[in-house]
Chains A and B, each alone.
Chain A
């Protein structure tokens, strides 16, 4: 069962750009090796942390968007835990939220597609509400 996930992790700030690229590349290859497809790997840049993590006040954020099975995610999380430069990570399952958003958008689109009656009704309604 493939699901959509987002894995965000923070890398220690003193890691150089090349090392970060290398780390991202290796993690990506590990993820694909475990059976996940990495749709997007984005470096979100340096950011001040809201609280100290392992005595660091800054961190470099990286975001992976993937479609994977639970097992692959488990493996990736294990890698992140073991990887020394990674100071914090979070995995979020996004497919259910995306489905919900699509549904909402569809409803909204279908409403805007038949505007005359709807708009008239809305116009009738709003003054009454304000009064």
Chain B
């Protein structure tokens, strides 16, 4: 959590180089920090788990469109703290993404 706050505060300043490789949060995330720069003093919407909200039970490795939302540009799995996915669903999501990688539906590392 502390990390998140630091990040939000530091965004207006030029980004340190070391951070450029970090997975970007997906655009379609449900609001939250980063939606607005220096968001600390503003209202921060609680991030909700997409799978809980939309009642998606089945996280299938074949569903590339769904999984693609949780993979950063470089092919990394986006962490829970950025997407708001709950722990049980993140676990299933991770397994599904790894399966999809094995059958060349998703990249291990892009470019």
| A 46-89 binary contact with B (CB < 8 Å = 1; else 0) | 01011101000001000100000000000000000000000011
Which of A50, A89, A101, A105 counts the most B-chain CB atoms under 10 A from its CB? A50
* Alpha-carbon gap, A50 to B110, bound state (A): 8
Interface residues on A, range: 10 to 19
* Alpha-carbon gap, A108 to B58, bound state (A): 14
A92-B61, A101-B58, A104-B57 given; A50·B102 CB < 8 A: no
B104/A51 in contact, CB under 8 A: yes
Q: Which residue of A lies closest to B102 (CB)?
A: A90
A20 within 8 A of B: no
- Within residues 43 to 74 of chain B, which ones have a CB less than 8 A from any CB in chain A? 55, 57-58, 61-62
Chain A nearest CB, measured from B52 CB (Å): 12
Interface of A is mostly: strand
In the bound complex, residues from chain A placing their C-beta under 8 Å from that of B107 are: 50-51
Interface residues on B, range: 10 to 19
| B 24-60 binary contact with A (CB < 8 Å = 1; else 0) | 0000000000000000000000000000000101100
* Alpha-carbon gap, A49 to B106, bound state (A): 8
Q: Which residue of B lies closest to A59 (CB)?
A: B104
Chain A nearest CB, measured from B50 CB (Å): 16
Contact of A53 among B57, B62, B104 (CB under 8 A): B104
- Within residues 68 to 111 of chain B, which ones have a CB less than 8 A from any CB in chain A? 75, 99, 101-108, 110
In the bound complex, residues from chain A placing their C-beta under 8 Å from that of B75 are: 50
CB-based closest 8 A-B pairs:
A50-B107, A49-B104, A90-B103, A50-B104, A104-B57, A50-B106, A90-B102, A51-B107
Using a CB–CB cutoff of 8 Å, the interface residues on chain B facing chain A are 55, 57-58, 61-62, 75, 99, 101-108, 110
